[in-house]
Structures are given as structure tokens and as C-alpha cells.
Chain A
Amino acid sequence: EPEVTQTPSHQVTQMGQEVILRCVPISNHLYFYWYRQILGQKVEFLVSFYNNEISEKSEIFDDQFSVERPDGSNFTLKIRSTKLEDSAMYFCASNREGETQYFGPGTRLLVL
């Protein structure tokens, strides 16, 4: 069964550094999402992406965040200058219209 994959599984970075989280959505999916879960809190929506542009973004998704689909398979989330409060598990998801969103295993980001 096809799966959403994410790399790396864990990343540790220093405050102020840039990080890029990578996702490979399921191949025939057209809608892509990033969510995050701060330890002990609920899963929160960050951004959705379709047809090479952002469909919707949350208040969390400020100018420090960006998304890109650089080729036909990858979907990336970039944080330009990480802050301590960016430490969280970041989940990528994808789907086709009318179908369930499938989640990747997540990237655990720790900002020191």
C-alpha cells in the first residue's frame, strides 16, 4: 500500500538556523498538507497546497515558514530562522479530492 514518507525522522538544530523538512506524498495525490504537534498538545494545521500554490494557511504559518514542491515528488516545509517554540512533530499529509488525508510518520524537530 502506498505511503507518505518523511525525512528526516529526527532533526536537532540551533535556534536561528534554517531547516527543511521533506515529504514524499502518495504519487497520484494532488492535495498536500503540513500539520504539527507540539508535545502534549493537539495536532494543528499549518498549510495546504494544491496546484503549486498555497490553498490555505493558519496563523502559525507566518513569514518564517514556506512550502515548495520543487519537483514532481517532493513537498517541503522550510523554516527560515527556527525558534525554540518551533520544536514539535511535523506531519505531512496528502490526498485526492473526496478521499481521506493520509499522514506520514512525522519529523521530530528539536530547536536548542
Chain B
Amino acid sequence: AQSVSQHNHHVILSEAASLELGCNYSYGGTVNLFWYVQYPGQHLQLLLKYFSGDPLVKGIKGFEAEFIKSKFSFNLRKPSVQWSDTAEYFCAVNHGSGNTGKLIFGQGTTLQVKP
């Protein structure tokens, strides 16, 4: 069965620290990869996505992620976090072309940034 695993459940950082959140998935075929963010009291918003092409993708608010096919990974990074990045981060995957399949989510990582 397909699954997504996020390595960290709760991360606490100080402002300006660098961030890396791990995400691994299990599926051998063509995948589409996503990071969604959920700010307190708000709905899921797309941070970035990978469908094909350059494995290093850049998203909103200075976030980027690298798809490493050999490691089945899609880690999220940000060089310098801000207090406003405090949120829940979800890695998700679906498979096949068209992106019309179900999204499978990881369990989420709560990021707390201290001012």
C-alpha cells in the first residue's frame, strides 16, 4: 500500500534558523509530490509541488523541496524561518499523470518558530 512518512512530528526552531523537514514515500511508479501548509485556524494551502522536470522545486514564502527518486524522498527546506512560519506541514503524494488521484498524506509536522 502507498504510504507517506514524515520524520519529525514536532519541530521547534528559533527565528533565522534553517529548516529541513523529511518526507519519504512508498510507491514505485510515477508520482506527484506536494507540500501543504496549514496555518493555525486556516485551511490547507499548497506550498509547492513536483510533477516532473527539475527535481529542485521552489514554492511560496521561500520554501523549496528536492525530489530524490533513488531515496523516495521529497524533503522541504527553508534557509531562514520566520515566526510566521509556525504551522502544520503536510507532505502528500499521488500517482499517475493528470493529478486526479487521491492524495495520500503524511502524518504532519508541527513547526513552532520562537521569536
Name A's B-contacting residues (CB within 8 A).
31, 33, 35, 41-45, 48, 50, 55-56, 58, 91, 93, 95, 97-106
Contacts and interface: CB of A to CB of B under 8 A. Distances in A.
B107 to A, nearest CB: 4
A2 B73 CA distance: 32
Question: How many of chain B's residues touch chain A, expressed as a range?
Answer: 20 to 34
A50 B99 CA distance: 13
Nearest to A41: B107
B99 A56 contact: no
User: Which 4 A-B pairs rank lowest in CB-CB distance, beginning with the nearest?
Assistant: A45-B102, A105-B43, A103-B44, A43-B105
B70 interface: no
Given A43-B90, A44-B105, A91 B43 contact: yes
Contacts, number: 56
B46 A100 contact: yes
Main secondary structure of the interface of A (DSSP, over half): strand
Contacts of B49: 100
Interface of B: 34, 36, 42-46, 49, 90, 92, 97-108
B99 A101 contact: yes
Given A43-B44, A91-B43, A106-B43, A101 B108 contact: no
A91 B44 contact: yes
Given A91-B43, A100-B49, A105-B43, A42 B105 contact: yes
